Amino acid sequence: GAVVSQHPSRVICKSGTSVKIECRSLDFQATTMFWYRQFPKQSLMLMATSNEGSKATYEQGVEKDKFLINHASLTLSTLTVTSAHPEDSSFYICSAGDRGLKHYGYTFGSGTRLTVV
Amino acid sequence: SQQGEEDPQALSIQEGENATMNCSYKTSINNLQWYRQNSGRGLVHLILIRSNEREKHSGRLRVTLDTSKKSSSLLITASRAADTASYFCAAYRDDKIIFGKGTRLHILP
């Protein structure tokens, strides 16, 4: 089945630095990628949707200059948390899908736990 | 914004019993999906039910969908300790998947 590889699984960074999270679709072309954030004991909140070759569409309240999303190829999307602060500490999960197969569900990465100290 | 609301928020049952979780959503959907998440881990896709379907089975899982009430239920039969996890419904609409708040299920030995 479809596999999405997300790296790193855990990262600790200092406040003020930037962190890049990668999400790769291994055996299919991901025309659409979603990025979610999840705080402890809460649900997944959609941050942004990106389509290959296009600018990402951000959900209301998500700062596009802080959470930079790049989806330059059909197999790779990246989320960069710029100038990270402790309140950005969270679990970030990507989801990838092929628009042609959209009714068959999307595949999720294993998540990245970001801790900003 | 979240599409779905699950209830209960938390559920503890004895091993072997059936667990039922409900999900309500606000707008029309293309399909509804259920996911499981073990603590601190990624999501596992359990089952997808399309808007024109009313019931679907997969192993010990049974999902129903009532589009007139904008609600869905997930039934896990003969629960096992390994079923302890958080369960989320997720509504697919307008090329987005929006998650509900989730139910934390705890299976007691």
- Give CA–CA dist A35/A51, Å, rounded: 12
Q: Using an 8 Å Cβ cutoff, are B2 and B102 in contact?
A: no
CB contact under 8 A, B100 and A34: no
- Give CA–CA dist B72/A70, Å, rounded: 35
pLDDT digits (tens, 9 = 90+) for A24-78: 988 888 888 999 999 988 899 999 998 887 889 999 999 999 999 998 888 899 9
Interface probe for A, chosen from B1, B36, B95 (most Cβ of A below 10 Å), is: B95
Tokens 């629960």 -> residue: B79
Q: Is a pLDDT exceeding 80 seen at residue B9?
A: yes
Question: How many degrees, rounded to 5, is the angle at CA B59 between CA A30 and CA A91?
Answer: 45
pLDDT digits (tens, 9 = 90+) for A79-117: 999 999 999 999 999 998 766 555 456 788 999 999 999
- The bridge status of strand A112-116 relative to strand A10-13 is parallel
Size of interface A-B (CB pairs under 8 A): 58
pLDDT digits (tens, 9 = 90+) for B48-100: 999 999 999 999 999 999 999 999 999 999 999 999 999 999 998 877 888 99
pLDDT above 90 covers a percentage of chain B that reads 68
